[in-house]
Amino acid sequence: MAITAQDVKKLRDLTDAPMMDCKNALTEADGDMDRAKEILREKGAAAGAKKAGRATKEGIAKFVVAADGKTAAGIVVECETDFVSRNDDFKAMVDSLVNGMLQAGRAGGDVVVDGKSVDEHIADAVGKIRENIQLRASEFVTAEGDAKLASYNHHDGKWASVVAYTGGEEAAKQVAVHVVAFKPSFLSRDDISKDVIDKEYNFQKKRALDEGKPENIAENIAQGRINKEFYQENVLLEQLIYLDNKTKVSDYLAQNGGGTILAYTLLAVGLSGEGTEED
């Protein structure tokens, strides 16, 4: 069957695949448009498998919150180059996928968005863009009881956070910004295991002993440094809010709506450490 330029253009419009790939797929399918689409998808999946070992250090991290503030979806889609991560089509795909997860009420590569799974959308993108593209993380978050959710997406697209809060919405949004800026490891002291505290105590005690302090003084210094340094550096509610670098996050919340943060989630691009630079 003869393949016309109109056939190639139609397949191109349906799939966004390169023109030559469309022509080859139609030739292989003997002009059957549906079969040609399947061939392009199969070739895209094969290309994705070949590219899967390549490093993905760029991409987009994003949270979206439902209008009622009770649910949120988050996603990290990684690619190889910032050229792709800044591409409007790539951004639109990420937006579509994360909003699809929000509407579905769950996260994951098997969530169906516009008739195809998230994983299938990613595979199609690999075939079109010719880079390794990975769904690196996805989250679905629910606020319990009277709590609501607030999010922040950093302007570079590489960091995103969501917080579950009570109290003022604007204050919670500022804390979501703070989470991206200061990247706490724990919400409160209660979330830190005894093993972590013991390890930090032993480190600080040795540090004090190395400074020439007596044993009993070194023990007091170690505990003091945990209280003044470790908690303030690692615990969200005890960090100093980025707005003035003076007020504890917990105090800032109390002063601006009287609420607190019940939980937080931070997503980021490029933390997996997977892949290599080789083609």
* Global pTM exceeds 0.85: no
Residue 66 shares a structural domain with residue 127: yes
Q: Which of 13, 30, 51 represents a domain boundary (last residue)? A: 51
Supply the pLDDT for residue 153.
98
- Which CATH number is 90's domain given? 3.30.479.20
Residue 143 shares a structural domain with residue 222: no
Supply the pLDDT for residue 230.
95
Residue 45 shares a structural domain with residue 74: no
Supply the pLDDT for residue 44.
66
Residue 46 shares a structural domain with residue 135: no
Residue 69 shares a structural domain with residue 11: no
Supply the pLDDT for residue 273.
41
Distances in whole angstroms, Cα of residue 222 to Cα of each of 13, 66, 185, 199, 240: 66, 45, 20, 11, 21
Backbone phi, psi, residue 31, to 5° = 85, -5
Contacting residues for 219 by C-beta, under 8 A, at least 6 apart: 205
Residue 40 shares a structural domain with residue 102: no
20 three-class SS: helix
Residue 25 shares a structural domain with residue 114: no
Tokens standing for 95?
A: 């937006």
Domain with 16, as residue range(s), is: 5-51
Residue 246 shares a structural domain with residue 163: no
Q: Per the structure, how many domains does the chain have?
A: 3
pLDDT in tens, the chain (279 residues): 678 888 888 888 777 677 788 888 888 888 888 888 888 777 765 455 445 456 668 999 999 999 999 999 999 999 999 999 999 999 999 999 999 999 999 999 999 999 999 999 998 888 788 888 999 999 999 999 999 999 999 999 999 999 999 999 999 999 999 999 999 999 999 999 999 999 999 999 999 999 999 999 999 999 999 998 999 999 999 999 999 999 999 999 999 999 999 999 999 998 754 433 443
